[in-house]
């Protein structure tokens, strides 16, 4: 009996860190990272077809929560013509910088369902601080994180040389996301 209790205690002690480090799982079919730019004043919408997320979020333990995204820049999808140009050095330079990343540094609660996630966004070898507003909605076992935030494409050297002219392609790009996750503790 003592041996069984000791074994059970040892198992519980080993499992505790695993529970504390549990991560949420991305539901790719219900998730999207999109963007809207303006070309000669006209909105142009696109999306990234390939991305991953590493999320360890607990609304009761924001200080230890972490969020990271990796986006395959070569998966940008706007139109056939634009898709052929975006991987080139002038735009995303996919050969040298195949991924863009976001890594959180802090998460702040705004109200019951809204948060501000501060962190570093790195695109094309350039890193910049951003604050991302996030709204959470739970539907059964799935939690959806959604929001939008602006970036300046020229900060990240997206659209160099003749494409740095903001009268053709605006500097501001709106990044929009809808990320579905399982395993998020109840809000």
Residue 33, Cβ density class (10 Å: 0-12 exposed, 13-18 middle, ≥19 buried): buried
The pLDDT of residue 22: 60
Region 101-120: mean pLDDT is 97
Q: What percent of the chain has pLDDT over 70?
A: 88
Residue 8 lies in a domain: no
The pLDDT of residue 23: 79
The pLDDT of residue 183: 94
Residue 7 lies in a domain: no
pLDDT tens string 162-180: 999 999 999 999 999 999 9
The pLDDT of residue 1: 42
The pLDDT of residue 120: 98
Residue 33 pLDDT class (50, 70, 90 cuts)? very high
Q: Is the pLDDT of residue 138 over 80?
A: yes
Residue 16 lies in a domain: no
Region 74-101: mean pLDDT is 96
Q: How far is Cα 70 from Cα 52, in angstroms, rounded to an integer?
A: 5
Number of domains in the chain: 1
Q: Look-up: residue for tokens 């000669």?
A: 40
For the chain, the average pLDDT equals 89
Q: How far is Cα 46 from Cα 3, in angstroms, rounded to an integer?
A: 60
Residue 133 lies in a domain: yes
Q: How far is Cα 98 from Cα 32, in angstroms, rounded to an integer?
A: 19
In terms of pLDDT, which residue wins out, 10 or 24?
24
Residue 81 lies in a domain: yes
Residue 151 belongs to what domain range? 23-182
CATH value at residue 147? 2.40.128.110
Q: Is the pLDDT of residue 129 over 90?
A: yes
Residue 63 lies in a domain: yes
Q: Is the pLDDT of residue 70 over 50?
A: yes
Q: Is the pLDDT of residue 27 over 60?
A: yes
Q: How far is Cα 44 from Cα 80, in angstroms, rounded to an integer?
A: 13
Reference 97, options 132, 120, 127, 119; nearest CA is 127
Q: How far is Cα 161 from Cα 44, in angstroms, rounded to an integer?
A: 20
The pTM is what?
0.85
The pLDDT of residue 57: 95
Residue 130 lies in a domain: yes
Residue 5 lies in a domain: no
The pLDDT of residue 37: 96
């Amino acid at each position: 009996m003592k041996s069984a209790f000791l074994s059970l205690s040892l198992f519980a002690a080993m499992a505790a860190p695993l529970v504390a480090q549990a991560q949420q799982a991305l539901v790719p079919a219900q998730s999207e990272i999109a963007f809207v730019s303006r070309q000669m004043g006209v909105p142009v919408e696109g999306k990234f077809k390939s991305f991953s997320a590493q999320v360890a979020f607990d609304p009761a333990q924001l200080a230890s929560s972490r969020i990271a995204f990796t986006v395959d820049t070569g998966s940008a999808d706007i139109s056939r013509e634009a898709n052929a140009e975006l991987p080139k050095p002038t735009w995303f330079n996919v050969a040298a910088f195949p991924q863009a990343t976001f890594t959180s540094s802090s998460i702040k609660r705004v109200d019951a369902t809204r948060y501000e996630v501060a962190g570093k966004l790195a695109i094309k070898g350039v890193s910049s601080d951003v604050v991302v507003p996030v709204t959470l909605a739970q539907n059964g076992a799935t939690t959806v994180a959604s929001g939008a935030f602006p970036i300046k494409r020229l900060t990240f050297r997206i659209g160099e040389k003749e494409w740095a002219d903001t009268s053709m392609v605006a500097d501001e790009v709106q990044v929009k996301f809808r990320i579905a996750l399982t395993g998020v503790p109840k809000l």
